[in-house]
Amino acid sequence: MYVCNCNGIRQREVAAAIEAGARRPRDVFQRHGCSAQCAKCVCEMREMIQAQTSICAVVAE
């Protein structure tokens, strides 16, 4: 499924960027060599980053 339609970034690509260290949507865009266009995807990216950060915090405990 596409997260960012403007740049063609898929959910699995966002997840890979997060696993590689992306902590902001800007980091995801940088990893893919693009930038936000309409920014509709930014909220979903933030949610994905927050979810992964929460999972990592629980695992670290």
Q: Quick one: which of 1, 2, 3, 4 has its CA closest to 36?
A: 4
- The Cα 37–Cα 34 span in angstroms is 9
- The Cα 44–Cα 39 span in angstroms is 10
- Considering the entire predicted model, what is its pTM? 0.86
> pLDDT grade, residue 61 (50/70/90)?
low
Residue 12 backbone phi and psi in degrees, to 5: -65, -30
* Per-residue pLDDT at 34: 96
- Each domain of the chain, given as residue ranges in start order, spans 2-60
Q: Return the CATH architecture of domain 2-60.
A: Orthogonal Bundle (1.10)
- Judged on CB neighbours under 10 Å (0-12, 13-18, 19+), 52 is middle
User: Which tens digit of pLDDT belongs to each residue from 3-59?
Assistant: 999 999 999 999 999 999 999 999 999 999 999 999 999 999 999 999 988 876 666
